[in-house]
Structure 1
Amino acid sequence: MTETQAPPLDELATAHLRAVLTSRPRPPRPGPLTTSLVFGRRTLLKLKHLPEQLIDVTAFPIMLTLMFTYLFGGAIAGSTGDYLQFLQPGILVQTIVMITMTTGSALNADRVSGVFDRFRSLSIWRPSALVGALLGDGARYLLGCVIVLALSLVLGFRPAGGLGGVLAAVALVLVFSFSLGWLWTTLGLLLRTPQAVTSLSMFVMLPLTFASNIFVDPKTMPGWLSSVVGLNPITHLTTAVRAAMGGTVTSGQVGVVLLWCAVLVGVFAPATMRLYRIRH
């Protein structure tokens, strides 16, 4: 190239681009918390554009509370008012743990669509897509808690533990739900369709919620069934939530719930990550 010739346009563009990119220091790589929160925001944005996904958080809690209070309250406790005092903490537990099932089906839908392949190409903390989805769903769980509590207060529920007991109960439910979500992420990566994830999740959750102390006192059950119910993690969660709202919770009750949370995370979080590495 002679001195009178101008450099090609592509060389000028490359030089300009290089100058722009090197004019300031490279931004730091985002940490695990930042990337997880970004994926959590993605989960909330999906709800913004598909608000019908909030039906399980809004209509489902209202239906359960009204149905069990007024259909079975008189038969089980003699009056709907007395039964509501016993039932409400259990309905709070059942509502939120049932909502967690959608985590697996939503994750499976992302896997089937191929969006996870794009996530894996990003230079980010590998589990952030999974942790972020669970964090985003935490906002749904909190909304469900608010709806159940608000409706129960309108119907006449009065927690003896006051505001502090209610907040402690909600915290226990949220922590347990986050831990339980790892079971559904495992199923979401293991099964082939969202429908299969939903069906198997329901098959797991229905016995866990109904074979517990949510609706009736285990003392009224046959001895063998009472023993089975006593081993159910949902029973331990309901007992702690009920005690927290009643102002009688003990460290042992909270400790058992947290132990179950540690077991769920310790078993299913590594299983989820292994499936994430192998299958995607």
Structure 2
Amino acid sequence: MKIIPEQPTRLRLVPISKLAAAPKWQLETMRALREPLFLWITNGQGRITIGARTRGFHPHNAIFIPAGTLHGMQALTRVQGTAIYFGARHGLELPETALHLRLRDASQHAEVSQLVDYVQREVEGQRPKADQAAYHQLGLLAIWLDRHNAAHQGENAAEMTQLNANERLTARYAALLEREFGSSLNVTDYATALGVTPTHLTRACRASCGRTALDMIQTRRLYEARKLLMETDIPVQDIARNLGFSTPSYFSRAFSLQIGQPPSSYRKVHEAKPRLTH
């Protein structure tokens, strides 16, 4: 039985201010979605990590994150804009690599704002065939992304894909971790799979993103654990087993040490709160 629930498959638009107001753990923990994500930043600044590279973001930044791409975000000031979650069954031709476009021309700002606005009107208008119309508008956004990807190919390639040795190793580790975080693999297992020593892997992770390899494992598992405790009624022992913890008691100790309260208490505190987007 699949314990970890699938993420929503429908198109959703969420104010970035709402995402930025989420708990720090939910915003900053590195994780991957099963759907593409487009961020249009209109105000504020912060940092976003995509794969193994961290960059600052500012107003009029357009960021596209393909499905399955590990990412995390930190808001340094009040951030505003729109996040578009494409849904898992969008059927669109989208870039296969992440894009971070800093738009400097006012006409470009107006163009992308208009595209986002058109999608939002269809989603919120609830008119006949609204979903179909919204995805047609998303198709225009996909074309916009493709055109700007080509126009900024040199800049984007240099900043997003030309990683140093530590960043390349960390990116490989992050991708493997995202596939296997529900298993009982430890740092040694991951290092062996990547053909390096555990010490080398930990050093590379620390140099790339300021975190140890072990911290990345624990943080990713506990991120998923908190979501499952908040959003489902799956028993704690099943969550522990399906996230690779050897015993429920070990899971409870690790959770309590990191979060400050045991899993059962955490669930009771949050069970009346509305569910989060992702």
Range of TM-score over shorter length: under 0.3
Higher strand share: 2
Higher helix share: 1
TM-score, normalized by length of structure 1? Answer: 0.24
TM-score, normalized by length of structure 2? Answer: 0.25
